[in-house]
């Protein structure tokens, strides 16, 4: 984290960073307030958290609820006083293609990612009159060193090959490709885009989004 803050600061921008447990409501609210103080306010909030809860036992459901769903809700709630002061306020939540259709992550992960899409579209409708936009990005399989798919590739190569074969592009996405989508939705370039779920999956999913 310190290295990332240093790299951003070296570009001449104000940067801050600190670890926080998003399932701890008080700690998250303080983290948001501290960030706003360090940055001089907030224009954009990106809720990108997940417990990666795949197990369907009660512990898995609780972890997914506290982190994926409520972590995002708490983040938005804590940031709202600052967003209301912004002239270009934008909220972006990170869901998943698992929130659109049933796949191996059916259960807590997929259910709460679907709930995030519903929650965010509700925000878009409720906050439009206050000039605050809200959108969701739903990434497909995303590969990077140390990530979930990198670990699956090493630990379960047969499953990795099966998953990779589902991608019509012949590859998985990159973090930069997902970040590009978030940057667009969060920016003034998308000033009339609110309430949308932008799927970034290389045509992995086949369902029609209505």
Q: CA–CA separation, 110 vs 118, rounded Å?
A: 13
Which residues are known catalytic residues?
95-96, 109, 113
Q: Which residues pair with 143 in a beta bridge?
A: none
Would residue 6 count as lying in a domain?
A: no
Position 10 in a domain: no
80-124: per-residue pLDDT in tens? 999 999 999 999 999 999 998 888 777 899 999 999 999 999 999
pLDDT in tens, 138-193: 999 999 999 999 999 999 999 999 999 999 999 999 999 999 999 999 999 999 99
Average pLDDT, whole number, for the chain? 95
Report whether 111 contacts 118 (CB < 8 A).
no
User: Of the candidates 68, 58, 6, 17, which has an alpha carbon nearest to the alpha carbon of residue 39?
Assistant: 17
143 lies in which domain range?
A: 18-200
- Nearest Cα to Cα of residue 137 among 190, 94, 180: 94
**pLDDT score of 169:** 96
Q: Which residues contact 142 (CB under 8 A, 6 or more apart)?
A: 149, 172, 173, 174, 175, 177, 178
Residue 209, pLDDT > 90, answer no
CATH classification at residue 171: 3.40.50.720
Asked whether residue 9 is domain-assigned, the answer is no
- 3 lies in a domain? no
Structure tokens given for 37: 């103080």
* 157 compared with 208, residue with greater pLDDT: 157
Would residue 4 count as lying in a domain? no
Count the domains in the chain: 1
- For the entire predicted model, the pTM comes to 0.94
In a domain, 160, yes or no: yes
Q: Is residue 77 part of a domain?
A: yes
């Amino acid at each position: 984290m310190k290295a990332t803050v240093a790299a951003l600061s070296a570009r001449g921008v104000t940067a801050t960073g600190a670890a926080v447990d998003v399932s701890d409501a008080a700690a998250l609210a303080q983290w948001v307030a501290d960030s706003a103080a360090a940055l001089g306010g907030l224009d954009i909030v990106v809720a990108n958290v997940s417990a990666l809860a795949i197990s369907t036992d009660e512990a898995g459901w609780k972890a997914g609820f506290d982190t994926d769903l409520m972590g995002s809700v708490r983040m938005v709630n804590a940031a709202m006083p600052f967003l209301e002061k912004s002239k270009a306020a934008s909220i972006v939540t990170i869901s998943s293609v698992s929130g659109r259709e049933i796949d191996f992550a059916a259960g807590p992960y997929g259910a709460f990612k679907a709930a995030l899409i519903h929650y965010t579209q509700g925000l878009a409708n409720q906050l439009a009159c206050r000039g605050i936009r809200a959108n969701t990005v739903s990434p497909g399989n995303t590969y990077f060193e140390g990530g979930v798919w990198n670990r699956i590739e090493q630990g379960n190569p047969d499953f990795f090959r099966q998953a990779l074969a589902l991608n019509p592009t012949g590859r998985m996405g990159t973090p930069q490709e997902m970040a590009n989508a978030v940057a667009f939705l969060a920016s003034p370039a998308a000033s009339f885009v609110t309430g949308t779920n932008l799927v970034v999956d290389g045509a992995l999913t086949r369902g029609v989004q209505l």
